[in-house]
């Protein structure tokens, strides 16, 4: 018997709509957590297809890096070299972070105490494309607790590790155990490396562009790719500001030309609207600004010359506008 074509019942329609709402909810959750940058899930594909991908053509792999051996220690293993093709073998799960930031090579070695072989440290020396690339992985991998050192502007030591940027190099020196002896070995290793390794000075103009309310270096990071879930938005400097008792994230990204900045601003606006963002008339105080309400938070962004800037996930409109005004004025002073 030939079956009749029946229209979906109201129940079936309701179930279908419910499923669609679940899928939309998942998408919302994913988007809302994009600012909590997780190196393990950076999309390398997005990085490679991006129009503004980082150029790593200036390969310096023929230059020799000397691994220092502090007094009182001896090599425990032979040095190991890792290229962009083999990096995953050493740090599987995090390789995409370094690759997207401009990774050139990694040299690692384990060094042990001569007196106590159970005490050893592993030095991981990442050579990156630029000082900004080195700072990017330093800032993203930054641990919550740590004591700054005088070895370099960007360095800190924890109970069992030391992290620093030296020019285009990012170092992680991690010990097997926490002890005063190992802490001294870590410091001595870092000092010797800086002393014997020529490198350009770390010059990152964006760091001085944040207004004083947002200038704490410990709260500034670089997102190399797919910032806030948008694959066209890369090389983004973010900072957390404290304004009138509220904390809010602001960002700066140099797009090289004003035309690029304006195009990115337009594309980001459409990206947010496609996810349900509602466009709200912006403030006249900031030219070329856009205000979008999305998922109970506010995105306010604008262009200033070649820079694309803004406020990410402010809790209310007033906070978004206050932070944007502070950022706008700070960038204006920096560009004079």
Contact (CB, 8 A) for 37 and 220: no
Is there a contact between 313 and 35 (Cβ–Cβ < 8 Å)?
yes
Tens digits of residue pLDDT in 137-171: 999 999 887 899 999 989 999 999 999 999 999 99
pLDDT level of residue 336 (50, 70, 90 thresholds): low
pTM for the structure as a whole: 0.74
In a domain, 5, yes or no: no
- pLDDT on residue 63: 60
160: CATH: 3.40.1000
Q: Give pLDDT, residue 201.
A: 74
Burial class (CB in 10 A: 0-12, 13-18, 19+), 141: middle
For residues 144 and 216, state if they share a domain.
Answer: no
Query: Residues 44-71: pLDDT tens digits?
Result: 233 333 333 333 334 444 567 889 999 9
Are 139 and 235 spatial neighbours (Cβ–Cβ below 8 Å)?
no
In a domain, 3, yes or no: no
Residue 274 located in a structural domain: yes
- Asked if residue 297 has pLDDT above 80, the reply is yes
Closest among 203, 226, 264, 169 to 53, alpha carbons compared: 226
Q: How many residues does this entry show for the chain?
A: 336
**Are 139 and 55 contained in the same domain?**
yes
Q: Is 191 found in the same domain as 126?
A: yes
Q: Is residue 19 part of a domain?
A: no
For residue 317, give Cα distances in angstroms to 211, 229, 263, 309: 20, 22, 24, 17
Q: Burial level of 45, CB count in 10 A (0-12/13-18/19+)? A: exposed
Which residue among 149, 174, 196 closes a domain? Answer: 196
Q: What is the pLDDT of residue 22?
A: 41
d(CA 253, CA 236) in angstroms, rounded, equals 5
Token pair of 259 as six digits: 């035309």
Among residues 196, 215, 239, the one where a domain terminates is 196
Residues 170 and 216 in one domain: no
Pair (94, 116) in one structural domain = yes
Average pLDDT over residues 78-92: 96
Whether 210 and 300 map to the same domain: the answer is yes
Q: What residue numbers bound the domain in which 226 lies?
A: 205-335
**Last residue in a domain, options 196, 213, 247:** 196
d(CA 100, CA 225): 7
- Total tally of structural domains belonging to the chain: 2
Task: Output the pLDDT for position 92.
Answer: 84
Predicted pLDDT of residue 144? 80
């Amino acid at each position: 018997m030939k079956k009749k074509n029946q229209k979906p019942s109201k129940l079936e329609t309701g179930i279908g709509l419910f499923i669609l709402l679940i899928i939309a909810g998942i998408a919302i959750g994913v988007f809302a957590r994009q600012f909590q940058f997780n190196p393990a899930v950076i999309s390398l594909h997005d990085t490679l297809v991006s129009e503004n991908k980082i150029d790593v053509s200036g390969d310096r792999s023929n230059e020799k890096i000397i691994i220092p051996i502090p007094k009182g220690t001896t090599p425990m293993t032979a040095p190991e070299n890792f290229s962009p093709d083999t990096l995953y073998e050493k740090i599987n799960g995090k390789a995409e972070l370094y690759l997207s930031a401009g990774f050139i090579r990694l040299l690692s070695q384990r060094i042990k105490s001569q007196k106590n072989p159970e005490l050893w440290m592993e030095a991981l020396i990442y050579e990156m494309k630029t000082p900004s690339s080195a700072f990017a992985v330093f800032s993203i991998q930054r641990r919550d607790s740590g004591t700054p050192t005088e070895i370099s502007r960007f360095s800190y030591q924890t109970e069992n590790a030391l992290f620093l940027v030296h020019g285009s190099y990012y170092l992680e020196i991690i010990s097997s155990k926490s002890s005063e002896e190992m802490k001294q070995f870590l410091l001595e290793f870092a000092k010797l490396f800086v002393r014997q390794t020529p490198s350009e000075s770390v010059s990152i103009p964006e760091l001085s562009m944040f207004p004083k309310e947002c200038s704490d270096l410990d709260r500034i990071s670089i997102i190399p790719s797919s910032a806030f879930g948008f694959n066209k938005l890369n090389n983004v400097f973010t900072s957390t500001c404290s304004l009138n008792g509220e904390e809010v994230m602001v960002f700066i990204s140099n797009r090289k030309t004003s035309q690029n900045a304006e195009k990115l601003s337009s594309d980001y606006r459409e990206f947010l609207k496609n996810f349900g963002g509602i466009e709200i008339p912006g403030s006249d105080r900031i030219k070329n600004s856009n205000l979008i309400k999305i998922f109970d938070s506010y995105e306010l962004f604008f262009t200033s010359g070649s820079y694309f800037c803004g406020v990410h996930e402010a809790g209310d409109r007033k906070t978004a506008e206050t932070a944007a005004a502070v950022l706008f004025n700070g960038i204006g002073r920096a560009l004079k």
